[in-house]
Chain A
Amino acid sequence: MSDMSQQRPHEGLLARFTRGVRLGSPIFLGYMPVGIAFGVLATTIGFSASQAIVCSATALAGAGQFIALNLMRDRADVLAVVAATTVVNLRYVLFAATLSPHLRGMPASKQALLAFTLTDETFAVNVSDRRSGASTGASMAGVGAIAWTGWVTGTALGALAAGWIGDPSTWGMDFAMPAMFTALLIALAEDRRHVAVAAIGAALAVGLPALAGVGIAIPSSWLIVIASVGAATAGAVIFR
């Protein structure tokens, strides 16, 4: 097998990339409705179609982009908008660090491409593929490419057909993102230890805002990062 791939490295590379595209195709379909919703909302608050598409193509930031729209609608300062989306997506720092031990020896230019397409969904697919031992740099690039295409295609559809689509919430759009997260949670909670860590994360995400009652107000944009770091730390301490 390895001899064959050495003789025909391009075919091997392409086959691995295509495998990644296949693995990531559910992400493509899952991103479409969320991307459509972003396109509709962005044009509703004043983006042109090309601005909405460029935003999705360059940021690929999911929840971060929706938060940006909310703040921009209230005419927030540019830096405030960027800071809020960055903090919401700080979990990508954790994702990038979690994947990196598997990316040793990969040139920085290829890592940059993988990093660019790193999202909750591509991360979860690559991590579970990595556990089966089949994941490679090329397959991760395939996962990233198809996810990016879905997000940008959805945004374009939403931005260009906003008038025809109407209010995306009538067809359950409010739940597309939570549904994707829920399926990913079940996919990743593969043993008792990970179920316990996920439960601790859930308890912290719901419980920490109650600290406002004793004068400790946690900004909601920091909540997920703090709950995640707390739960992973608890897991690392409990399950030695």
Chain B
Amino acid sequence: MSAAYIWAVIALMAVANFAVRFPPMALVSRLDLPEPVTRWLGFVPAAVMGSLVAGEVLRPGGQLTLSPTSPYLPAALVTALVYHYTRSFLGATVAGMAGFVAARALLG
């Protein structure tokens, strides 16, 4: 893999990732949004997180995995419970990773 190829990807990724973040922010913050649009935007965070988690946990690697021996679901439950009771983002992440390792060892 040539250095030029890698640097080209790095440069264009930097531009592209800024382009999806800044223009919408600059534009929308200068507009008066009608109520239905702000209501819609209010649901975006939960919608994105719901679909991200389902994708990561139920379709790891792009394949639907509902097997009882999949370590993803028990690890996600551990993460959710730890976050619910401790409100610690870090504690939940670490517990989830440990739960994943344990579930993989026990179920695999």
B107 at the interface (CB under 8 A from A): no
CB proximity to A under 8 Å, residues B9-34: 9-14, 16-30, 33
Task: Report the Cα distance A99→B83, complex, angstroms.
Answer: 24
A161 at the interface (CB under 8 A from B): no
A164 at the interface (CB under 8 A from B): no
* Chain B residue, CB-CB nearest to A187: B83
Task: Report the Cα distance A5→B72, complex, angstroms.
Answer: 48
CB proximity to A under 8 Å, residues B64-108: 64, 71-72, 75-76, 79-80, 83-84, 87-90, 92-93, 95-101
Task: Report the Cα distance A115→B101, complex, angstroms.
Answer: 35
Residues on A with beta carbons closer than 8 Å to the beta carbon of B16: 82, 85-86
Task: Report the Cα distance A120→B48, complex, angstroms.
Answer: 9
A26 at the interface (CB under 8 A from B): yes
Q: Are A98 and B101 in contact (CB under 8 A)?
A: no
Q: Are B51 and A204 in contact (CB under 8 A)?
A: yes
Q: Are B9 and A115 in contact (CB under 8 A)?
A: no
CB proximity to A under 8 Å, residues B49-72: 49-60, 62, 64, 71-72
Q: Are A178 and B47 in contact (CB under 8 A)?
A: no
Q: Are B89 and A72 in contact (CB under 8 A)?
A: no
Task: Report the Cα distance A171→B104, complex, angstroms.
Answer: 11
Beyond A68-B13, A82-B16, A182-B76, is A223–B55 a contact (Cβ under 8 Å)? yes
From DSSP, what is the main secondary structure of chain A's interface residues? helix
Q: Which of A45, A111, A182, A194 contacts B26 (CB 8 A)?
A: A111
A54 at the interface (CB under 8 A from B): yes
Task: Report the Cα distance A230→B46, complex, angstroms.
Answer: 12
Beyond A58-B10, A68-B13, A97-B25, is A175–B96 a contact (Cβ under 8 Å)? yes
Task: Report the Cα distance A47→B28, complex, angstroms.
Answer: 37
Beyond A26-B90, A176-B93, A182-B79, is A65–B18 a contact (Cβ under 8 Å)? no
Residues on A with beta carbons closer than 8 Å to the beta carbon of B10: 51, 54-55, 58-59
Residues on B with beta carbons closer than 8 Å to the beta carbon of A224: 48, 51-52, 55
Task: Report the Cα distance A48→B7, complex, angstroms.
Answer: 10
Binding site for A on B (CB under 8 A): 1, 3, 5-14, 16-30, 33, 36, 38-60, 62, 64, 71-72, 75-76, 79-80, 83-84, 87-90, 92-93, 95-101
The 5 closest A-B pairs by CB, nearest first: A179-B96, A198-B50, A201-B50, A172-B97, A202-B54
